Each structure stands twice: as structure tokens, then as C-alpha cells.
A = this chain, B = another copy of it.
Amino acid sequence: MLDSILEQVREGTLDIDDAKERLKTYKDLGFAKLDFHREERQGYPEVVFGEGKTVYQIIEIIKVLKARHRRILATRISPEKAAAIQKEVENLVYNETARTLFWKNAEEQTILYQGYVAVVSAGTSDLRVAEEAAVTVEAMGCEAVRICDVGVAGIHRLLDNLEIIRNATVSVVVAGMEGALPSAVGGLVSHPVIAVPTSVGYGANFGGLSALLSMINSCASGISVVNIDNGFGGGYNAALIHRMANEKRGEQQ
């Protein structure tokens, strides 16, 4: 792009002020700069992190994004905020477990890639984070298959679901407490595992630190870790990989 701009400047088809203007790649809302820097790629949602933003701010952001994007995902939205936002913006789908709002252009296809991402979670209380991961995977145009309540303390339940996990392109593995599930999954599959520690637990859990340290110290290969309770991050990483790995299949058909 730099080459091209320099070229045009030399040829006189672009004057210097315009050349500088070309660098302005975002819209300034006052309270936030919305970024238009990356060219939009098919099926990538724009993401709004809702925590700490007011209903008004979220609505303004979504309105601006709708004009330029085909998919929008807002995370960390409480039910009350969601209701208020849905009144102002049409066609937003709220997922109460994941606490997300999703919008897509009506013509946009939901699933764009073959295969699926496995979203594996250890306990009932980890569902909230796992669902945020799954919704993110789907917002990226990929299929998410959910496998719940398969923590290491009941290893047979994990083994019963092994085939479906093994057939995924990539797994997002969500666990709190001792956070041992990614190690167990990592030892059983040969694809990448994105580990998501959760703050679920009590006592010496220290807000998810125990699970985070477990996962970072995993002796299984092929595991990498995102922040505590960061279901979005887990899902986003998984979908990035899934899309690259499965473009072939999508195109071959």
C-alpha cells in the first residue's frame, strides 16, 4: 500500500494532503475510535466489548458498525442492557448464557466453513464461559459443537465423547478449579487446544489463578492459553485456526 501511495504521489495523481488523509482509518465517536483499518474479510464480525460501556455508547457503536460491516458481536452484555439495546437496534439476537448480542446482515450465510470446532467444558458452572466461546466461533462463520460436563474427575465421560472431540479441527477447552481438562484433552487429540481457565471455584482458587497456572504448566503439547473467563478469546483463536484449516474444503466443493 505504501508503494502504491508513493507511486501515485510521484505521478501526481494523489496530492500530499490526500496521501496523509489516507492514513485516517477510523471514525472518532469521542468516547472511542472505531477502527476501519483492516479490510473487511468475509465472515469476520466486528466485536464490541460491552463491559464498562453504557447502553448509549453500545448503541452508537453498533449503529456505526452496521453501516460498514455484515456481522457484529457484542460480549459481556447483561440482560438489562441487552433489552435496552434491542429496543433501539433491530435484529439483534441475545444469548443469555453467553451474555452476547449478535447481528448479521440478513443475506449473510451463517456457517461458511466445513468441519467444526469442539467447545469442551468441565463443569456446569463453566457453561457461561464455554457458551461465550461457542457463540464467538459461530459469529466467525464456523460451526461449534458443545461437549459439556466432562471434567477429569469423571474421565469416562470425557472418553465417551472422545471421537467427536478428535474429529474437530481445533478444541476450546474450558475449566475452572484445578483446570486439568486441557491436559487430558491435549493428550488425547492431535489438533491444537485453546485452553480457557475460568474463575469458577472457591478457597485457594484465587479467582481462577489455580486453573490458569495449571493450564500454562500443562505437560501436554499443543495447548495454549487465554485469560481467565475469556471465552471470547478462546473462541476467536479457535475460529481463526479453523478458517485457515478449512478454506480448502469450502473451496473444493
A152 at interface, CB cutoff 8 A: yes
Pick the contact of A184: B53, B177, B184, B219 (CB < 8 A): B184
Q: Could you tell me the distance in whole angstroms from the C-beta of A232 to the nearest C-beta in chain B?
A: 8
Q: Could you tell me which A residues sit within 8 Å of B by CB distance?
A: 2-3, 6-7, 9-10, 12, 16, 19-20, 23-26, 31-33, 35, 37-38, 41, 47, 51-53, 57, 122-125, 127, 148-157, 159-160, 169, 177-180, 183-184, 186-188, 190-192, 194, 197, 199-230, 232-233, 236-237, 240-241, 244-245, 247-248
Given the known interface contacts A127-B31, A237-B224, the answer about A218 and B177 at a Cβ–Cβ threshold of 8 Å is: yes
Contact of A240 among B179, B205, B208, B222 (CB under 8 A): B222
**Quick one: closest B residue to A14, CB to CB?**
B10
Report, nearest first, the 3 A-B pairs whose CB atoms are least far apart.
Answer: A203-B228, A180-B180, A248-B248
- A117 nearest CB across to chain B (Å): 12
- CB-defined A-B contacts under 8 Å, sample of 30: A3-B16, A6-B9, A6-B19, A23-B156, A24-B160, A25-B157, A31-B127, A32-B149, A41-B190, A51-B125, A53-B125, A122-B219, A151-B219, A152-B152, A152-B184, A155-B155, A155-B188, A169-B244, A177-B219, A179-B214, A192-B237, A203-B227, A203-B228, A205-B227, A216-B226, A216-B228, A221-B232, A224-B233, A225-B225, A241-B244
User: Smallest CB-CB separation from A76: which chain B residue?
Assistant: B202
Instruction: Indicate whether A214 sits within 8 Å of B219 (C-beta atoms), given known contacts A154-B35, A192-B240.
Output: no
Question: Within the complex, what minimum Cβ distance (angstroms) separates A111 from chain B?
Answer: 19
What's the number of copies of this chain in the assembled complex? Answer: 8
Tell which of B35, B125, B192, B221 touches A47, judged by Cβ atoms closer than 8 Å.
B221
Q: How far is the CB of A55 from chain B (nearest CB, A)?
A: 14
Max chain B Cβ within 10 angstroms of own Cβ: one of A7, A159, A200, A213:
A213
Known: A23-B159, A26-B154. 13 other contacts (CB 8 A): A33-B149, A33-B154, A35-B157, A38-B190, A122-B219, A177-B219, A179-B217, A192-B240, A210-B214, A221-B233, A241-B241, A241-B245, A244-B245
Instruction: Quote the shortest CB–CB distance from A121 to chain B (angstroms).
Output: 11
Nearest B residue to A203 by beta-carbon distance? Answer: B228
Instruction: Decide if A156 touches B25 in the complex (CB within 8 Å).
Output: yes
Contacting residues, chain B, for A41 (C-beta < 8 A): 190
